[in-house]
Amino acid sequence: MDRRTFLTSTALGAGLAVALPTVAGAAFTQARAVRVTTLDQLRSAIAAANPGDTVTLANGSYAVPSGRPIAIQGKHGNSTASIIVQAESVGGVTLTGSQGFTFADSSWVTVSGFKFRQTTMIALPTSCTHLRLSRNDIQLANTEGLNWLMVRSDYSKVDRNHFHNKSSLGVFLCVEGPGTSGMARGVHILRNYFSDHTFGGSNGGEPIRLGLSGRSLSDAGAIVEQNLFERANGDPEAISVKSCSNTIRDNTVRNSLGGIVLRHGSRSRVEGNFLLNGTNGIRMYGNDHLVVNNYVEKVTGAGIVLGSGSVRDDKPDDSPESRKGNDAPDRVTIALNTVLSCGTAIAGETMRTLPPLGCTISDNLLVGDSGRQLVDMPYQQGITWSGNLLWGAAGNGNIPASGFSRKDPLLATGSDGVRRLTSSSPAINAASRTYSTVTRDLDGNARSGKADVGADEYGTAAPINRPLNPADVGPQSA
């Protein structure tokens, strides 16, 4: 009979009894968790794991042999009892070598707490669903063209990881899907820290790329929220959306070249994001987007860009190659945003011939500094303007006179550096339209009655959503 030692907690399984077998590969019986000290023990424990089991690898550095990755294959937890594979303490296990974990035909499996220092991409394939990568430190080889994490599995979650220090061509986190045109559905990207991508090329160094041009007509339904991007300088797009029906909310992009770009696809919602002290703001192409409650401050380029098109609409029978152009924006709503001290507050483009059609720019708060124009929109015929509030030494630009008023919004700077409305602001209850699907403001507090102009709804409640700092995200965050 094997002698077992029972522990009372693990890093992700507090309160569970933890069996510690003395023989490598010992099978799980009644134990809910097992601690291992070698890669061979880890492989055996994973192979024997059942729903609800936790496999813990002792702290240390492990060189994974070439051709012998740590395979998670045919393993299925369930919605109430995942299989957890974790480091003994968060960041306590470093995996080197060509590959760390590989995944196939598995679901409801969590991998947590590791430092990945491998030389090939981490891949979550289409044969899997409901995988989770949580609280890992990801710094793979700085190989030209290497993307670090590829998610193709439906309903996967990537949360509280740190992706950092890449200076070559390649993306930190890609989401794609089956075949050449599909997208993984329901991916959740939450509270990750993306920092220090320094690739100097003009394209191909995004922190997040959500699709590709050939996949742009597919619904992804991804949620990208509460992530922090700092010094994301590998591409003008920190979050590059190339698919449909996604939600990009409550993220912070600070001191970065990259902005939030709806490059391809339709029906996405960009809400409650902070873009601070960078180069690019929010830019969009495609149809039926809602851009609302965002706060853009001290971006040297344009705070918000409504793009132009080389094609009116991408179609299913178009070749993937033909979709690499720009789909002109149709029926896009840009509303209730606050844009402060940017190169231009709201701008358009002239490098393509197809203008926006049926778009609305309403109830935004635009404040500019000396010598700048608040609005530079070359195509006017496809845009309805209303209720925007302009202020500052910057000129109005070419916004139609019927689309704005010029009044001091009476802002005050909070302890988090965000400039919000004060009680006497003319922005209060001044919105020109109603927004039935917008129930909260930038701070995450409720909007009630007639909306206030800009991203902030005046109130005395403490902000729920605020600019993120490194302590709020990544492996050690709550």
**Domains in the chain, CATH or no CATH each:** 121-405 (2.160.20.10)
Number of neighbouring beta carbons within 10 Å of residue 74 = 10
Report the C-alpha gap between 346 and 232 in whole angstroms.
22
Of 163, 148, 97, 156, residue with least CA distance to 128: 156
CA-derived radius of gyration, the chain: 24
DSSP 8-state assignment for residue 467: -
Contact 316/181 with Cβ under 8 angstroms? no
What is the predicted pLDDT for the residue at 325?
81
Kindly report the CA angle at 415 between 374 and 427, in degrees rounded to 5?
40
What single-letter amino acid sits at 51?
P
265 to each of 208, 253, 349, 437, how far by Cα in Å? 16, 22, 18, 21
Q: Name the token pair of 420.
A: 């919000």
CA distance 261 to 207: 12
The SS3 call for residue 42 is helix
Element (H, E) at 48: helix 39-48
Confidence (pLDDT) at 316 = 79
- Give pLDDT, residue 17: 33
CA distance 35 to 88: 8
Q: How far apart are CA 189 and CA 137, in angstroms?
A: 15
Neighbour-count burial for 358-370, b at 16+ CB within 10 Å, e otherwise: ebbbbbbbbbbee
Per the listing, tokens 């930190």 go with 172
Two tokens at 336? 């209730």
Both tokens of 158, joined, read 């990537």
Residue among 42, 44, 53 nearest 108 (CA): 53
Buried b (16+ CB within 10 A) or exposed e, 11-25: bbbeebebbbbeeee
Q: What are phi and psi of 40, to 5 degrees?
A: -65, -40
Question: What is the DSSP code string of 290-341?
Answer: EEES-EEES-SSEEEEE--BSBS---TTS-TTGGGS-BPPBS-EEES-EEES
User: What does the alpha-carbon distance between residue 329 and residue 88 come to, in Å, rounded to a whole number?
Assistant: 49
Rounded-to-integer distance, Cα 72 and Cα 105, Å = 8
Q: Nearest CA to 54 among 80, 25, 85? A: 85
List all residues 6 or more positions away from 317 whose beta carbon is below 8 Å from its beta carbon: none
Record the pTM. 0.92
DSSP string, 433-466: S--TT--B-TTSPBP-SSPPSSSPPP-SSPPSS-
How far apart are the C-alpha atoms of 236 and 342, rounded to whole Å?
Answer: 16
Beta bridge partners of 309: 354
| 79 class by beta-carbon count within 10 Å (0-12 exposed, 13-18 middle, 19+ buried) | exposed
Contact 418/296 with Cβ under 8 angstroms?
Answer: no
- Cα 348 to Cα 358: distance, rounded to the nearest angstrom: 15
> From first to last of its 478 residues, what are the pLDDT tens digits of the chain?
333 332 333 333 333 333 333 334 434 444 489 999 999 999 999 999 999 999 999 999 999 999 999 999 999 999 999 999 999 999 999 999 999 999 999 999 999 999 999 999 999 999 999 999 999 999 999 999 999 999 999 999 999 999 999 999 999 999 999 999 999 999 999 999 999 999 998 899 999 999 999 999 999 999 999 999 999 999 999 999 999 999 999 999 999 999 999 999 999 999 999 999 999 999 999 999 999 999 999 999 999 999 998 888 877 777 767 677 888 999 999 999 999 999 999 999 988 989 999 999 999 999 998 778 999 999 999 999 999 999 999 999 999 999 999 999 999 999 999 999 999 999 999 999 999 999 999 999 999 889 999 999 999 999 999 999 999 999 999 9
Report how far apart, in Å, the C-alpha atoms of 413 and of each of 425, 446, 451 are: 14, 20, 21
Interatomic CA distance for residues 442 and 425, integer angstroms: 17
In the prediction, which pLDDT does 287 show?
97
Among candidate residues 292, 293, 256, the one with its CA nearest the CA of residue 276: 256
Q: How far apart are CA 359 and CA 356, in angstroms?
A: 7
Alpha-carbon distance 85 to 461, whole Å? 40
Q: 314 near 216, Cβ under 8 Å? A: yes
User: How far is CA 153 from each of CA 95, 425, 449, 453, rounded to the nearest angstrom?
Assistant: 23, 48, 42, 40
pLDDT at position 394 = 96
